[in-house]
Structure formats: C-alpha cells, structure tokens
Amino acid sequence: MRIAFLVADFPCLSETFVLNQVTGLIDRGHQVDIYTNRVGNWAVSHPDVSRYRLWERTYPMPEVPQNYLWRLVQGIGLGLRAGWRAPGLIARSLNPFVHGEQALNLWLFYTAVALVGRPQSYDIIHCQFGTQGYRGLAFKRLLRPAPRLLLMFRGFDISRYVQEGGDRVYRQLVRHVDYCLANCDFFRQRVLALGWPSDRVAVHFSGLDINKFTFRPRELEPGQPVRIATTGRLVEKKGLEFAIRAVAQQAQRYPNLTYTIIGDGPLRSALQQLIVELRAESYIELVGWKNEAEIVEILDTCHLFVAPSITAADGNQDAPINVLKEAMAMGLPVLSTDHGGIPELVEDGVSGFLVPERDANALAERLGYLIDHPEIWPDLGMAGRRFVERHFDMQMLNDRLVQVYDRLLAPANRSGPHNESASLAHASLTPSMRPASAEK
C-alpha cells in the first residue's frame, strides 16, 4: 500500500505514537510518506528517525496565510515556481465548479503545491489528529484515483479544538471521511457526539514497543528513599501543581523521599516557584527534557509514578498517555486521575490508584497509602505490565492498523475490523466498515 501521513509537526519528540506507526508500516513492506506543516529538528529526534532515514520520506506543506490578500500574493509566487511542473494538478485545484469554496479560497491550491513532484497516487490518506482533516480532504479531492481518507483523533483535536471552534468545527468532514479512529473510548464518544455515524468510528489505542521497557518488581530497601517520578510536558493539563503539593504534604510525614519531574514547557518557571514556596527544593527537582534512554534509566531507579492529568481551562484533555504505559510496562505502581481516557488504562486498585482531578489532598492520601504499603508494589506493577502487554503492544496494534487499511480498500460489504477495545468491555463498539460517499 501507498500511505500518506498528514501531521502538524514532524519529527516531534513528544509524538512517538506517530513515529511508531510510520516505522511499523515500513517494516510491514508499505510505502509511507509524511506531509507536515512544520519540519522539526532532525538533529534532536528519536533514533528511529535516523535508522529509517525518514527525512527522505518527509515533505513540507506550505502554510496557508490567514490574510486572503497575502494568500493570493504568495500563491502567485508559488504558482510561478511550481505550476509548470504539474499544470494539470494545479488547474484541478483552482476549479471552483468542481471544488467550490476550497478552490476559491486557495486551500486546494496550497495543497496541490505540496504534491508537485511527489507521488500522485495513494491508497490511504491518514490524518494524524482531526485538525489535519481538511488538508486530508484536499488530498482526497486532488488525487486520482481518490484515496481513502482516515482521521485519527488523539486528544486536543477532540477536546480543546472543539471547545474553541464549536460543535460544527468538523461538520463538513463527516460526509467525506471514510473512517475515524480514536485513541480511547472517551474520545470516541466525543466524536460520535459531533454527528459521526457509529459504524465509521472505532477505538485504536496508541501502542509502545514493550521490549524497550524491562519489567522489574519494585521493592523498598531498608533506609532507601522512596523515589517518585513524573514525565510529561509542563503544561496545564498535566496537573503538576497538584502532584507537587501532594508530594510536599507527604514529605512532612515521610521526609525520606524524592520527586523527579522529567519534561519541559511553558509552566517550568511557575512550577519552580511553587517548589521554592513550599521549601521543597531538596527533594523535588525539575530535570528538563530527556531522551528515551535517559527516561528509562531514571524510571528504572524509581518506585512510584504519578500522572495527575486535569482538564485544562481551554478544554484540553488526555487520552491514555504513553508515559503511563511506559511506567506500567516497567513495573511501576501508578497514581493518576479519573480523567479523560486514563481510566481505560489504569485499573483503580489493581495496577495503581485513581483520584479526582485537581485534588492535591486526595493525591497525597493515596500517595501516603502507597508509601506505607510497599508490600503491594510488586502486585500492582505486575498487573500494570500485563495490562499494557495485552492492550497496548505496538506490534499487535500496527497489525490491526493494516487490517483497517485493508478493509477500507476492500468492497464496501466487507465486515469491519475487530475493535481492540472489545476486551475492555467495549464489545458493542465493533463497527462495520462503510466507506463514505466517493468524491464527485
């Protein structure tokens, strides 16, 4: 198969789930091209980027200016430079009788420029994040024959983006997108609430390479400090303020502990100030960004993992986040919140504990329980590892993604792919594949 991935940023260190799908499809013999709004820093990226020489498969898409006059002026320049190389493609993109508003506002033209000199035929256009959907629709309209269009909803695109743009923000896509995937049932329900037919939306989890994360039962040696860790961007929805306050509460009762926060972001200064105000500098540390190997090395020395996600003021929410999966795969008991898709990953009282959002006291109470009962750590860690192996193994999920593609390309009366969340009490979600109406 020939597959085009549409992403906002590539490569992006915080989006290994995209990279895992790209490399998984390449390993299975498929041709994958990556179209991105912004090309990242190749020198500071995941090792797989170099291993697979992904810069050779990555193509930038020109930004579409918000100001229409500037869009027109810049478009003339782009047309002069690229139009002679694919006159038929450029002409199609400017035909308002066929494509209406997307031709008149030059959205199709800017997409056509990205395709000049590139393959003119794809089987699947896979939009990573729903916010790429309108660009994906432009690909579908321009390419001959029309490819199947698939959207993957992952978090902010079905939470913050909808809150900002309103319930109709994806309305024009419903008729033309052939299939949607959501990375948890929490977000699948959000997609359905926007009017998508239930038989064209399924759950497809984001996986990880289980073999990269060695399981080790957690035990506390006499005199050893309890080591707690968090990994994630320092942004509001990660809820780190509440974890810092909870750890500071427990430090008054149990001073022999440390809390390491791995990551960076716009809230770093504010969080560091909070640590100072709580006089917690001696045991709470912000260590900044680390690569995957460094994160694994730090987590291997830790006993507990905290992920205190919250719903941000702008509506942004989390799916079952990868850092929790990684911690669970390594055998760390986890403490998180009843938030977004996280309850589909963490079984309360089985692999860890869940508390309400924005409740530092509840976090402190459950953290204290974990500190007081290290004898339960091995069982919690083993339960977490088994759950991740069963539901979030990257190889299994990439095989299922190929099955989704295959069935999209098969005749419409073929039955749909098994929804991997069925074993999570979502058996009723198993859809049948019904492609959307073909583009005219």
Q: What is the pLDDT of residue 321?
A: 86
Give the bridge partners for 127, in sequence order: 6, 151
Round to whole Å and give the CA distance between 41 and 9. Answer: 10
Question: Can you spell out the DSSP letters for 7-44?
Answer: EEEES-TT-HHHHHHHHHHHHTT-EEEEEEEEE--TTS
Q: Which domains does the chain have, with CATH numbers?
A: 2-207+395-429 (3.40.50.2000), 211-391 (3.40.50.2000)
Question: pLDDT digit string (tens) for 377-420?
Answer: 999 999 999 999 999 999 999 999 999 999 999 875 344 444 44
Higher pLDDT, 101 or 370: 370
Mean pLDDT of the chain: 89
Round to whole Å and give the CA distance between 41 and 64. Answer: 22
Predicted TM-score (pTM) of this structure: 0.86
Question: pLDDT digit string (tens) for 85-101?
Answer: 888 888 889 999 888 88
Would you place residue 439 in the very low, low, confident or very high pLDDT band (cuts 50, 70, 90)?
very low
Given a cut of 80, whether residue 149 has pLDDT beyond it is yes
N-term to C-term CA, the chain: 24
Given a cut of 50, whether residue 428 has pLDDT beyond it is no
Which position has the token pair 């979502």?
A: 426
Higher pLDDT, 24 or 416: 24
Would you place residue 30 in the very low, low, confident or very high pLDDT band (cuts 50, 70, 90)?
very high
Round to whole Å and give the CA distance between 94 and 84. Answer: 15
Q: What is the pLDDT of residue 412?
A: 54
Given a cut of 50, whether residue 127 has pLDDT beyond it is yes
Given a cut of 80, whether residue 421 has pLDDT beyond it is no
Given a cut of 80, whether residue 425 has pLDDT beyond it is no
Q: What is the pLDDT of residue 431?
A: 38
